[in-house]
């Protein structure tokens, strides 16, 4: 094995999904809260665009960094929502949002460079920084404050080696949202020091108390702001694998070079589907958000009724991140992994243990699943915790 492969670990989200899947194939009725993807189907207009593309034989290679039309669609959508102005040479289409994040770290991070990552973090950040030879510098957020991040918290961790500050707002797994003014303050701090501000806008459309914001909307911010976007969650298109990056031309060029020797272009058919998603009617987005809100408003009070469980109210995305410290203590469980393992085996509910996100007393519950499943799952968790001794 190459040494670098030991720098990364198997995604724990994938592991729980695999364990749950194994049980299901054995005939066990599992309630699965582990998947981080919308339960909605891709909207019809998007599906039809892909079917049209197939029938019209749009089945050849496109340019490695995406077709001109797809890049323009990503640029236009970002402009319509945030007033940004990007040229096609400042845009890349990738195989999902994860891919553009991977490309950014590969293109920018040298051995020993520091990347600041707020905790709790999406599991992949740590591994892609490590794989690039960088050093993760973690910043704790305050659970009592809804895991909200401030510019001051980040500033304290900046050193001469800081290369990138990576922000995900709203966040996976806790739904924490950085206030627009704090984001702006952070931009001024990082840009003055020549540090890149990488904004993962994966869940930016799923906000319950505020409207979507992009730090890239700050005039003159282009040289240090790196946007990572994806159609996966916004348009219920996780399987289609289309993401995009908006960044300075030289960085896009470097990522294009990398992509041309690895994946080549993202699937041509999926690009056509993404063009329709980005250019077409947007009404499916608020409809999905309204449903996520309904589910959030059901699940959070329900979790809080369970003895030994506390839960902050997520301000965005579609995850609850309950603190199960009390329940763990009651059951003599040392880690969230142990909690999740027992919950899966004894109550047949799949959740993701907090170790994956850098915390010691939480599990992640995805509520991108039907109300019926939420009710069944919450009942099971309640009974499981009550029976712990």
Ligand X SMILES: Cc1ncc(COP(=O)(O)O)c(C=O)c1O
Residue numbers of the site for ligand X (CB under 6 A)? 36, 96-98, 122, 168, 172, 200, 202, 230, 232, 238, 243
Tell me how far, at minimum, the Cβ of 232 lies from ligand X, in Å. Answer: 3
- Rounded least distance, CB 206 to ligand X, Å: 11
Smallest separation (angstroms) from ligand X to the CB of 131 = 16
- Helix 44-55 with 268-279: angle, nearest 10 deg: 140
- How far is the C-alpha of 71 from the C-alpha of 274, rounded, in Å? 10
Q: By 3-state DSSP, what share of the chain in percent is helix, strand and coil, each rounded to 5?
A: 45, 15, 40
What the block records as the tokens of 172 is: 């996976």
Among residues 318 and 384, whose Cβ is nearest to ligand X? 318
In degrees to the nearest 10, what's the CA dihedral of 71, 76, 82, 85?
Answer: 70
Give whichever of 66 and 331 is closer to ligand X, judged by the CB atom: 66
| Closer to ligand X by Cβ: residue 129 or 385 | 129
Q: Of 237 and 254, which CB lies nearer to ligand X in the complex structure?
A: 237
- Residue pair 220/85 in contact by the 8 Å Cβ criterion: no
Alpha carbon separation from 137 to 8, 106, 113, 202, 249 (Å, rounded): 16, 17, 10, 22, 27
* Dist CA 178 CA 119 (whole Å): 13
Please report how close the Cβ of residue 173 comes to ligand X at its closest, in angstroms.
8
Minimum CB distance to ligand X, residue 134 (Å) = 18
Q: 222 or 233, CB closer to ligand X?
A: 233
């Amino acid at each position: 094995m190459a040494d670098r492969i030991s720098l990364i670990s198997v995604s724990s989200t994938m592991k729980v999904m695999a364990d749950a899947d194994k049980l299901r194939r054995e005939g066990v009725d599992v309630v699965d809260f582990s998947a981080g993807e919308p339960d909605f189907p891709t909207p019809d207009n998007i599906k039809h665009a892909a079917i049209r593309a197939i029938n019209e034989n749009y089945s050849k290679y496109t340019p490695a960094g995406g077709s001109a039309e797809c890049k323009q669609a990503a640029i236009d959508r970002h402009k319509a929502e945030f007033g940004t102005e990007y040229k096609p040479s400042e845009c890349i289409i990738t195989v999902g949002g994860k891919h553009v994040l991977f490309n950014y770290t590969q293109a920018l991070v040298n051995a020993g460079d520091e990347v600041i990552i707020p905790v709790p973090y999406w599991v992949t950040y740590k591994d892609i920084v490590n794989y690039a030879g960088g050093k993760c510098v973690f910043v704790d957020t305050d659970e009592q404050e809804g895991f909200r991040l401030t510019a001051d918290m980040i500033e304290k961790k900046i050193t001469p080696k800081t290369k990138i500050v990576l922000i995900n707002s709203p966040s996976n797994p806790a739904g924490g949202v950085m206030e627009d003014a704090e984001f702006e303050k952070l931009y001024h701090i990082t840009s003055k020091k020549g540090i890149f501000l990488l904004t993962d806008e994966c869940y930016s459309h799923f906000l319950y108390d505020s409207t979507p914001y992009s730090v890239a909307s700050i005039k003159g911010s282009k040289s240090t702001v790196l946007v990572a976007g994806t159609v996966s969650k916004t348009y219920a298109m996780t399987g289609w694998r289309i993401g995009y990056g908006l960044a300075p031309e030289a960085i896009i060029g470097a990522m294009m070079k990398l992509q041309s020797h690895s994946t080549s272009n993202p699937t041509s058919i999926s690009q056509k589907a993404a063009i329709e998603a980005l250019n077409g009617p947007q009404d499916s987005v608020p409809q999905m958000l309204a449903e996520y809100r309904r589910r959030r408003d059901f699940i959070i009070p329900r979790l809080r009724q369970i003895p030994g469980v506390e839960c902050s109210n997520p301000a965005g995305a579609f995850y609850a991140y309950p603190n199960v410290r009390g329940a763990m203590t009651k059951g003599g469980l040392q880690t969230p992994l142990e909690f999740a393992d027992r919950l899966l085996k004894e109550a047949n509910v799949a959740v993701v243990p907090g170790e994956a996100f850098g915390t010691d007393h939480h599990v992640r519950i995805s509520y991108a699943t039907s109300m019926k499943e939420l009710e069944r799952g919450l009942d099971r968790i309640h009974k499981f915790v009550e029976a712990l001794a």
